[in-house]
Amino acid sequence: MSDQDTLDLKVMIIDDDEISNFIYRKVIDHSGMSKNIDEFQQAKAALDNLDQNLSNDFKLPDLIFLDINMPVIDGWAFLKEYNEAILPRLTKKIVICMLSSSVYKEDIEKAKSYSNVNEYISKPLTSERLIQIIEKHFSGSQ
Amino acid sequence: MNLEALSIIDKVSPIVIFKADKEGKCIYISQKWTEISGYSFEESIGDGWISAVHPEDKTRTLSGWKPKTASQVSITEYRIITKHGDIKWLVTRVAAEISENDQVIGYIGSATDITERKLAEHSLQASEEMNRKLVENSPNAIVIQELDTTIVFVNKRAIELLGARSEKEILGKSTKNFIHPDDQPGIAARFKQIVSTNQRGEPYTFRINGFRNNRFLGESIAVPFHWKEKKVVLLVIRDVTEERENLEKVADSEKRLKQFIQYAPVAVAMFDKNMNYVGCSHKWLKDWWKKEEEVSIDDVIGKNHYDLFSDVSNYWKKVHQRVLKGAYEVNEEDFFVDEKGKTHWLRWEARPWRRKDDDIGGVIIFTEFITERKKAENDLKVVADQLLESNQELQQFAYITSHNLRAPIVNLDTLLGFYDPKIGYNEDNAQVFDKIIKSVDQLKSSLNDLIQLVDIRETKSLRTREINFMDSLNQVLRAVETQINTGDTELTYNFDKAPSVTFEASVLESILQNLITNALKYRRAAPLHINLYTYNSEEYVVLKISDNGIGMDLDVVGTKLFGMYQRFNDTKEGKGLGLYIVKSQIESMGGKIEVESTPNEGSTFIIYFKKN
């Protein structure tokens, strides 16, 4: 846990459900791994934010929590746009973690088919799951 | 008799006169000899004449031409070969010339040319021989009967056919003995006619009962003629038992084949090279003969297909031509459009048929209408598509409802973990508590949606009645009164062309409320104008609801517009269920919904209520 004590990750939450967002915050706060959380209820706004900060790694997130089920631009549409417009211009490693209330196998399979989706979480996000993810992607080198 | 006297007789006689000395040397021979043989007097006297005698007859002639006794006249028949090489028959009569003291002093003879008689004799013999052989070896029975029907002659074949041991068993009996009783009257009548007209009768077939159960079917020709100075009737009888049986077999098998084709429950027809009917099945005529007048198979046989069916298309004519050249063609799913514009589906097969010599004799065509089957297949496909669609919809339904029910529950679970009952009221707990209440609201709302959606699926069983659009609109307007009054909103309507529709009242209200609420929700800053308009089409009562709201880009929204839990705007409240419900309600009642829209100009929803 010593690693996490010193960690200060930048986290981006993209989810239209305010209760989910409340939970993310609570869990992340509790873990102490980040005091820097950006919350977006619309995927479009998140994409714009990423686009604007492409040249500034410091402002780009280390970890994105992405909900699948959203109006207008859903999680899949976000990924498509992200892969086409954002990813090729990135210099920073961003871990993407997809979340959904769905327990459907199809969603999990689909998420796994995206090479840049690092994790898939069936809601809710728990402290245990969060720690797992941090240890997997952010321990050692940092 | 001296030689002078002889020469005088010679001049008047049609026969050859000759004289020989006591040694038999010819000392005189008349001019007639030279005429017959071509040999001169000088060549013939002495032994000269012997060289004219046919070599085969020489010995016999030389030893026998002279009489053995003085009183005897010797008669010899022999052939000569004339100087020209012809063969002639001569008969020579020779008597001895006796002196006064009874001494043989020479011979006097005559020779007559009997060639013509001999030839006639021979040819008669030959023809008799031929007739005898013909009769004997004839494959037909030959019987001669007298006018009282007594048999006077039978040949070998007749004995054989009648099963007799010899002709003795037959001769002297009446022909009646051998004719089947049932055929006797017919035979008697013919016999009478042949005798009275003296004309040969036409071939006639009757049953013949011989000896020892030898029975056969005979075809006879009766010829009246004179035989041994008596008027008789010659019967030439041929055994046609086998032939008839074969013919009958062929006829029978032909008949059976014809029946087989006629009654085959398929449409099949056989044509010759010129497309004339050789045969066809009843089903063929039933399927293809569309004219008023009745037609039977016998009517069409021999007739030309193109004459009977004047509307045979070039397509078929080409098929026929190719098959006549040896092609085998088959089409499992073909169709044509009849003169009424109706499409008929059929499967067919056309192949050449061949004669004994393997030449193509014509075409055999088989057809089967599969329109019904095809229709059933299509119906099935439509049903399958509908099922697929409805299945996909159900899957979507299950997916979304499970998601929408699961989401608030897992949130509740997590939130309850955050809530610390030991602390009691503090800011953290108050926040968590607020989220718990919201989650419960979400859960309640999702459950209500679910109940409503299940309700729609049972709309079909609802009872419909005639509803005035005006009444329904008034109900809805009462519910959204506040919203309309608070904004700058104008609502107009015209239900003159179709004032009412047969539908379920609560469903119609739900549809109107959904669409009007949407119009109110997705308005621009400008004053809102909503218009409702109804009219009748052939199949539907149509309701158009137009607004001048924010509109949509249908290229982006597409088919998702009417999908479940689809939201296209994140600045407005909504669960994305309204239009899904409207569509489900309309479709469950046999109608449909369409939309026209331009971003920033407005939308028009067109609802088609199915007429009964």
ipTM: 0.83
The full DSSP string for B181-227 is GGGHHHHHHHHHHHHHHT-PPPPEEEEEE-STT-EEEEEEEEEEEEE
Q: Write the pLDDT tens digit of every residue in B10-64.
A: 777 788 889 898 888 999 888 889 889 999 989 988 988 988 999 999 898 888 8
Tell me if chain A has a CB within 8 Å of the CB of B427. Answer: no
Cα–Cα distance measured from residue A97 to residue A117, given in angstroms and rounded to the nearest whole number: 6
Q: Write the pLDDT tens digit of every residue in B551-580.
A: 888 887 777 777 766 666 666 556 667 788
Cα–Cα distance measured from residue B3 to residue A139, given in angstroms and rounded to the nearest whole number: 176
CB contact under 8 A, B569 and A72: yes
Residue with tokens 């990924």: A79
Instruction: Give A87 to chain B, closest Cα distance, Å.
Output: 24
Amino acid at B208: I
Choosing among A15, A26, A31, A76, which should be mutated to test the B contact, i.e. which has the most B CBs within 10 A? A26
Indicate the residue of A41, A71, A123 with minimum beta-carbon distance to B567.
Answer: A71
Q: Chain B: residue nearest A125 by CA?
A: B414
Cα–Cα distance measured from residue A69 to residue A87, given in angstroms and rounded to the nearest whole number: 22
**Three-class DSSP category at B296:** coil
A18 neighbourhood in chain B, CB within 8 Å? 435, 438
- How many Å separate Cα B253 from the centre of its chain? 16
Contacts of B566 (CB under 8 A, 6+ apart): A71, B560, B576, B579, B580
- DSSP state at residue B311: T
Q: Which residues of chain A have pLDDT under 70?
A: 1-6, 140-142
CB contact under 8 A, B411 and A126: no
Mean pLDDT of chain B: 86
B404 neighbourhood in chain A, CB within 8 Å? 101
CB contact under 8 A, A20 and B411: yes
Tell me if chain A has a CB within 8 Å of the CB of B249. Answer: no
Question: Which 80-109 residues of chain A touch chain B by CB within 8 A?
Answer: 100-104
Indicate the residue of A19, A42, A101 with minimum beta-carbon distance to B438.
Answer: A19
- What average pLDDT score do residues B68-95 get? 90
Cα–Cα distance measured from residue B185 to residue B207, given in angstroms and rounded to the nearest whole number: 12
Question: Which is more confident, B453 or B419?
Answer: B419
- What average pLDDT score do residues B423-443 get? 87
Cα–Cα distance measured from residue B43 to residue B48, given in angstroms and rounded to the nearest whole number: 6
The pLDDT of residue B128 is 85
B560 neighbourhood in chain A, CB within 8 Å? none
CB contact under 8 A, A18 and B438: yes
Question: Which 394-413 residues of chain B touch chain A by CB within 8 A?
Answer: 399, 402-404, 406-408, 410-411, 413
A101 neighbourhood in chain B, CB within 8 Å? 403-404, 406-407, 410
A20 neighbourhood in chain B, CB within 8 Å? 407, 411
B431 neighbourhood in chain A, CB within 8 Å? 22
Contacts of B497 (CB under 8 A, 6+ apart): B534, B535, B536
Backbone angles phi, psi at B565, to 5 degrees: 55, 40
Q: Chain A: residue nearest B432 by CA?
A: A22
The pLDDT of residue B459 is 57
Judged by phi (left if over 0) then psi (alpha if -120 to 50, else beta), residue B597 lies in beta
The pLDDT of residue B545 is 95
Instruction: Give A45 to chain B, closest Cα distance, Å.
Output: 11
Question: Which is more confident, B9 or A35?
Answer: A35
The pLDDT of residue B226 is 85
| Strand arrangement, sheet containing B540-547 | B489-494, B528-536, B540-547, B602-610, B592-598
The pLDDT of residue B423 is 80
Q: Write the pLDDT tens digit of every residue in B138-157.
A: 888 899 998 888 998 898 88
The pLDDT of residue B470 is 93
Choosing among B401, B403, B564, which should be mutated to test the A contact, i.e. which has the most A CBs within 10 A? B403
- What average pLDDT score do residues B424-436 get? 86
Q: Write the pLDDT tens digit of every residue in B167-219.
A: 888 888 888 888 999 988 988 888 888 888 888 888 888 898 888 888 888 89
Range list of H helices, B14-114: 31-37, 41-44, 55-64
Q: Is the pLDDT of residue B1 over 60?
A: no
The pLDDT of residue B583 is 84
Q: What's the length of chain A?
A: 142
Number of H helices, E strands in chain B: 19, 22
Cα–Cα distance measured from residue B364 to residue A97, given in angstroms and rounded to the nearest whole number: 72
The pLDDT of residue B424 is 76
The pLDDT of residue B80 is 93
The pLDDT of residue A4 is 47
A22 neighbourhood in chain B, CB within 8 Å? 415, 431, 435
**Three-class DSSP category at B289:** coil
Q: Is the pLDDT of residue B547 over 90?
A: yes
The pLDDT of residue A51 is 92
Bridge partners for B73 per DSSP: B95
B566 neighbourhood in chain A, CB within 8 Å? 71
Instruction: Give B493 to chain A, closest Cα distance, Å.
Output: 32
Q: What percent of chain B has pLDDT over 70?
A: 96
The full DSSP string for B482-497 is HHHHHTTEEEEEE-SS
The b-or-e profile of B486-513 (16+ CB within 10 A means b, else e) is: eeebebeeebeebebbebbbebbbbbbb
The full DSSP string for B513-554 is HHHHHHHHHT--SSPEEEEEEEEE-SSEEEEEEEE-S----H
Instruction: Give A122 to chain B, closest Cα distance, Å.
Output: 10
Cα–Cα distance measured from residue B133 to residue B152, given in angstroms and rounded to the nearest whole number: 18
Joined together, the tokens standing for residue B178 give 């051998």
Tell me if chain A has a CB within 8 Å of the CB of B253. Answer: no
**Three-class DSSP category at B598:** strand
Taking CA atoms, B168 is separated from B30, B154, B496, in Å, by 58, 10, 120
CB contact under 8 A, A101 and B435: no
- DSSP state at residue B464: P
Determine which helix (DSSP H) or strand (DSSP E) holds B396, and give its type and residue range. helix B371-418
Indicate the residue of A18, A70, A101 with minimum beta-carbon distance to B407.
Answer: A101
Taking CA atoms, B166 is separated from B154, B232, B239, B495, in Å, by 10, 22, 19, 118
pLDDT band at B494 (very low <50, low <70, confident <90, very high): very high
The pLDDT of residue B567 is 67
Joined together, the tokens standing for residue A107 give 């969603």
Q: Chain B: residue nearest A123 by CA?
A: B410
- How many Å separate Cα B93 from the centre of its chain? 86
**Three-class DSSP category at B44:** helix
Amino acid at A16: D
- How many Å separate Cα B257 from the centre of its chain? 11
B407 neighbourhood in chain A, CB within 8 Å? 17, 20, 101, 123
Number of H helices, E strands in chain A: 6, 5
Q: Is the pLDDT of residue B447 over 90?
A: no
The pLDDT of residue A2 is 44
Q: Which among B112-121, B165-174, B312-321, B572-581 has the top mean pLDDT? A: B312-321
CB contact under 8 A, B411 and A19: yes
**Nearest C-alpha neighbor of B400 from the set A101, A78, A14, A43:** A101
Backbone angles phi, psi at B592, to 5 degrees: -150, 165
For A26-133, strand residue ranges (E) read 36-40, 63-67, 95-100, 117-122
Question: Which 45-64 residues of chain A touch chain B by CB within 8 A?
Answer: none
pLDDT band at B546 (very low <50, low <70, confident <90, very high): very high
| Contact assessment for residue B487 and residue B520, using Cβ atoms and an 8 Å cutoff | yes
Start-to-end CA distance of chain B, whole Å, equals 149
Cα–Cα distance measured from residue B598 to residue B350, given in angstroms and rounded to the nearest whole number: 58
Mutual angle of helices B371-418 and A18-31, in 10-degree steps: 50
CB contact under 8 A, B570 and A16: yes
A42 neighbourhood in chain B, CB within 8 Å? 570
Amino acid at B308: L
For B7-138, strand residue ranges (E) read 16-21, 26-29, 73-81, 87-98, 104-113
Instruction: Give A81 to chain B, closest Cα distance, Å.
Output: 15
Q: Chain B: residue nearest A99 by CA?
A: B407
Choosing among B399, B412, B414, which should be mutated to test the A contact, i.e. which has the most A CBs within 10 A? B414
CB contact under 8 A, B403 and A100: yes
Instruction: Give B449 to chain A, closest Cα distance, Å.
Output: 18
Cα–Cα distance measured from residue A71 to residue B573, given in angstroms and rounded to the nearest whole number: 11
The pLDDT of residue B346 is 92
CB contact under 8 A, B570 and A126: no
B406 neighbourhood in chain A, CB within 8 Å? 101-103, 123
CB contact under 8 A, A26 and B442: no
The pLDDT of residue B572 is 57
The pLDDT of residue B458 is 64
